[in-house]
Chains A and B, each alone.
Chain A
Amino acid sequence: MQTFEANDDGPLLAPIELTSRRFWIFAGALLTIGLWGAFAWWTQLRRGLSVTGLNAPVFWGLYITNFVFFIGISHAGTLISAILRLAHAEWRRSITRAAEVITVLVLFFGMGCVILDLGRPDRVLNVLRSGNFTSPLLWDVTSVACYLTASTIYLFLPLIPDIAILRDRMPSRRWLYRPLALGWTGTEKQVRRLDRAIAVMAVIVIPIAVSVHTVVSWVFAMTVQPMWHSTIFGPYFVVGAIFSGIGAIIIAMAIIRKAYHLEQYLKPIHFNNLGLLLLVMCLLWFYFTFAEFLTTYYGGEPMHMLVFLSKTEGKFSPLFWTMVVTCFVIPFVLLANRRTRTQIWGTVAASISVEIGMWLERFLIVVPSLSNPRIPLTAPSYVPSWVEWSLFAAFVSMFILLYAVFTKFFPIVSIWEIREGREHSVSEVTTRVLSYLPEAANE
């Protein structure tokens, strides 16, 4: 049996110990965009939502689109990682952390979008003071708050052993790592407890994650508006969320791999496996989209058809068909083809395409239904204003920046889990695989 030293995982600690000038430039650029966004928000606070492109009846636009999109991305981490953990997928070890961080950070930005969208952000606490539980928006607040709490715990638990490693290696940052390590020494009891806690959280987190995006969909589906009022919306949104979430993980992994030279940890096989998952979600997404549009078309209810036609052949059709291409055609071709899927660039390209497509999908859910009210009301086309685009850019930038900052304080690939994999998994998996075989003794 081989043994491994902490130093073997040097590349995982390098980003924390060394910070290049490139990183500072990168962070500075992101921060600048963030500040620009702050200015845009200031403008909106001063002048109200009149600085957006919204109008009657298109009361919701980019902010709500981004809300749904960001919350969707949040399914990346915790849900995927929990499923993979429960499934004992061994290849997960180097990717779960990167995924979980996405979840925790992006949730803040998702909720931030709702605050941006409020006419009276100064009154946001009214939601607590006089909350109305018949409102799906309040269900949202509740489920997102649960998901945020659970995901934070779920991110934190597997971090503890790594924090302990850092505590021991980096005396200059003891002030940070010591309290966070919660006195971890790696005793067998601690390990056993941690494993149990992680397993329990993995089980808890899955239904919460599913509920979050289901509830987000219900914000729309609970109304009687054309092409919102649909029973399929819950699962449809969850599928879309996981779809865009996996894409986000792939992109994040590719960047980390390149920036921090983690080629040994994030291998093509990881991309291939995630690519396969992405392909499954792509097909599921297509199935749901097809089901949704076919029932609308076949039913032919005039109000629904107005929205349907505005998407398929009306003024939203360029966006709609771009969505079909980027959500389905491109990823399907790239991922169904072994040659491109096994290439990292192949899965990354598919993921980028999926992100664009899924953002468009969210936009096309929010805006066309509102643009075609049941009682005729003409209005200018909704064109997002500079304030809305700036805030979108700023949110994306600040998300990336915070993600980068995280990698400067914590290992983005779980050190102890990799070690555990080396130390125990090979024999464990061998035993497990043997147990599937007919030769194995029945227990």
Chain B
Amino acid sequence: MARWGMVIDLDRCTACQACVVACQVENNIPVAGQSDSDRGRGISWIRLAPFNEGEHGTRPGLRLVPIPCMHCEKPPCTKVCPVKATSIGKEGIVAQVYARCIGCRYCTTACPYTVRRFNWKLPEWPDPMGEGLSPDVSVRPRGVVEKCSFCHHRLQNARDKAAIEGRALRDGDYMPACVESCPAEAMFFGDLDDPRSVVTRLEAGPRAFRLLEELGTKPKVIYLSKGESGADV
């Protein structure tokens, strides 16, 4: 069985945020206007987090790191959900069941990566913006939590397709929207259990690291550090 994982090469990433918008369009993420945005109510399933480097007075640096849900192997978020509205699947994708979520936001506070978002109000698409909604992804009701699904619906489609073709699902059968869009080709996706997959090779390379590794959450989003030579591909 596949164990889906993502690799983000911070040396290639240009902080262009194409992944952010790709995800919003793909996953029917509602439009947040200026005031919602200012109130900290905008939703995005992947964002660029700023890490400032260098102390004041010395030469400053800035690292911008794309942060989707890490799809932790040991997710702190699923444990705390009182109603099993979020859980980790067989293939390692941490899923969210909107129809069951009671909106307690315990998972949002438990996630050390702060990637979960809450629907503070009814999602809105001023007419006719709703016309662009994808039929593949449900529109979330008000009052529930959502987050990156590793484009689970694409996996479902790929699985259906593989079934029609009478073969097993394999590495490369599906690619999330953000990975597909990334202009710098800094994102990779695939089966971490497949020894021949690109992500497995990158994961084993010297530049690979995980965010907040010390917390033991075992993220399946793996980063490649900046500033070293890329002999690892």
Contact = CB atoms under 8 A, between A and B. Distances in A.
Asked whether the complex places CB atoms of A and B closer than 8 A, the reply is yes
Interface of A: 47-50, 54-60, 114, 117-121, 123-124, 126-127, 129-132, 134-138, 141, 219, 222-225, 370, 373-377, 379-380
B144 A119 contact: yes
Contact of B142 (A59, A119, A373): A119
A137 B104 CA distance: 9
Contacts of B81: 132, 135
Interface of A is mostly: loop
Nearest to A117: B104
A315 to B, nearest CB: 15
B95 interface: no
Contacts of B36: 50
B116 to A, nearest CB: 8
Given A59-B118, A118-B102, A123-B100, A49 B109 contact: no
B130 interface: no
Contact of A375 (B67, B103, B106, B145): B67
Interface of B is mostly: loop
A137 B101 contact: no
Given A48-B119, A55-B41, 8 more contacts: A49-B121, A55-B40, A59-B118, A119-B105, A120-B102, A132-B83, A137-B106, A223-B76
A124 B104 CA distance: 9
Contacts of B158: none
A49 B120 contact: yes
A127 B47 CA distance: 32
B76 A130 contact: no
B120 A376 contact: no
Interface string B102-144: 1111101110111001111110000000000000000001111
Closest 3 CB pairs of A and B: A119-B103, A55-B40, A119-B143
Contacts of B105: 59-60, 117, 119
A292 to B, nearest CB: 19
Interface residues of B, number: 45
A230 to B, nearest CB: 15
B45 to A, nearest CB: 12
B212 interface: yes
Nearest to B86: A132
A62 to B, nearest CB: 14
Nearest to A129: B83
B231 interface: no
Contacts of B38: 380
A227 B109 CA distance: 13
A230 B212 CA distance: 18
Contacts of A48: 119-122, 142-143
Nearest to B97: A130
Nearest to B110: A223
B80 A137 contact: yes
B57 interface: no
A114 B106 CA distance: 11
23 contacts: A48-B121, A49-B143, A55-B39, A56-B40, A114-B104, A117-B104, A119-B102, A119-B105, A119-B119, A120-B101, A120-B102, A120-B103, A120-B141, A120-B143, A124-B102, A126-B100, A130-B100, A137-B82, A137-B104, A141-B82, A223-B76, A374-B212, A376-B51
A375 B114 contact: yes
Contacts of B152: none
A117 to B, nearest CB: 7
Contact of B84 (A54, A119, A130): A130
B227 interface: no
Given A120-B144, A127-B83, A132-B84, A376 B50 contact: yes
